[in-house]
Amino acid sequence: MRVTLKMIAEKAGTSIGTVDRALNNREGVSEESKARVLQVAEEMGYRPNKFASALSRKKIIRIGAAYPEEPADFYRDIDRGFDKALEELQYYGVVVEKIRYKTQDPEIARARLAQVDPADFDGLAINSAGAVNVSEIDRFVAAGTPVVTFNTDAPDSRRLFYVGNNSRQSGLMGGELLSLLLGGKGNVTILGNFSRATPFIERFGGFCEYAQLEAPDLRIYPCSECLSDPDLAAKSLIDLIARVPDINGVFCTGYSSTVGALQAVKTLNRRDIKIVGYDLTERTAEALREGWCGALLYQDPCRQGLQAARLLVRHILEGWMPPRPRLHVDTRIIFKTNLDSYMDPQHEWLQSNL
């Protein structure tokens, strides 16, 4: 529990104004009263409220948030998370500037980040496209601008910490879900976005690990990379099914591949093919309702953006660091039976404020 000035004043037997002047070394308080207040504050474990200090200094804290524009359905939720952070933190002089680029292609992301001057920001939250962007992240840090990553990580960089989905764990969950939907056996494939991006690598690895250890009767066919293009994902799956008609399960490692897989099974009218994919939008929700999709893995993108901004500002103001370098937002499983609760506008408010 945060120790307040009122609590110190009550224990020291003085006024809140005297406590404020003593703690901030201002005039108008005797040396005896000041010593008493400082002693009580230390005994109670008082820590200054750096957010309040920032407010009193009227200092602008400029945060840069770098993430793609597409797929728009997914990044709209991350966008909303940063908007919520700005609404919450602007009272303390925090400004959030969005740095957008077209898609999560590592080369496109690196080119956009190369245009950013680290001197323009007090901190950066970056949706990293994986190892390709390590050099840009390290450039910001070397210039004295702290960086946190969210949604996708760059663990080999000098970033402070990561906020987002536990990709390997969600890959394991995807393997278990698809195995349950197929009764433990069948012919499955994996559709991915960018194979050089960390989430693809970790989710693919988690899925294969589960299949190898727990579902040996799942036969995995070669995966396809869709480069964040649903049409390419759909074509890849249609081509595979033409060669292997008895494919009956698909694990999608991202939102674009999920949309593409749904497009393919609808085109082929193959409701028998079970799909486990990612992310909740109107499009994927409709697929769950209509039975085209078996389950979705929900990584709460709005919360990712909100928490990345909150914690980065806390680091800047308080020097705060998390107990571990990867802070995972819980991955939840959405079925048709619990879909309505996630579509309820109150769900997002509750998750953001818990």
pLDDT tens-digit map of 49-67: 665 555 555 578 999 999 9
Could you tell me the pLDDT band of residue 354, with boundaries at 50, 70 and 90?
very low
Output the pTM of the full model. 0.80
Write down the pLDDT at residue 56. Answer: 53
Write down the pLDDT at residue 46. Answer: 83
pLDDT tens, position by position, 5-56: 788 999 999 988 898 888 877 788 898 999 999 999 889 888 766 655 555 5
CATH for 5-48, options being 3.50.30.10, 3.40.50.300, 1.10.260.40, 3.40.50.620: 1.10.260.40
Q: How many C-beta neighbours within 10 Å does residue 22 have?
A: 26
pLDDT tens, position by position, 314-329: 999 888 899 999 999 9
**Cα separation of 100 and 106, whole Å?**
13
Average pLDDT over residues 128-143: 85
Q: What is the CATH number of domain 167-298?
A: 3.40.50.2300
Locus of tokens 């698909």 = 250
**Cβ-contact 126, 152 below 8 angstroms:** no
> One fold for both 57-164+301-329 and 167-298?
yes
Write down the pLDDT at residue 345. Answer: 60
Nearest Cα neighbor of 208 from 239, 240, 242, 253 is 253
Helix or strand (DSSP H, E) at 265: helix 255-268
Second-level CATH architecture of 57-164+301-329: 3-Layer(aba) Sandwich (3.40)
Write down the pLDDT at residue 349. Answer: 46
Domain ranges within the chain, ordered by starting residue:
5-48, 57-164+301-329, 167-298
Tokens representing 209? 């690990």
**Cβ-contact 118, 59 below 8 angstroms:** no
Dmax over Cα atoms in the chain, in whole Å?
87
